[in-house]
Amino acid sequence: MLSKEKGRDLVTILPVERLLTETDGPFTQIDGRLTRPADVETTIGALANLRHLTPDVIAATVQTNLRTLLKAAAVLTEK
């Protein structure tokens, strides 16, 4: 999503509390090799650059967002 201008534009207008990361691996490539979970670090850096925040802030925000999503999913499955 971050490799194209349209995707980057969308990421810059999304509320930061809605951002999550993924690599699309192993179905995509970076520099001729299959992507892997560790490549999320590159995504965090790109998001930080786009949002004018530090990678640490983006990483913490994404972790919080994932916890929020998982808690909401747990509540829904309890019903």
In tens, the pLDDT along 27-49 reads 888 888 998 888 899 999 999 99
**Pair 19, 11: CB distance under 8 Å:** yes
Classified as helix, coil or strand, 67 is helix
pLDDT at site 31: 85
35's CB contacts (< 8 A; 6+ apart) are 23, 24, 25, 26, 27, 28, 29
For the chain, the residue count is 79
pLDDT at site 37: 86
Structure tokens at 57: 């802030």
pLDDT at site 79: 66
**Residue 67 CB-half CA count within 13 A:** 6
Task: Enumerate residue ranges in the chain where pLDDT < 50.
Answer: none
pLDDT at site 45: 95
Q: What is the pTM of this model?
A: 0.83
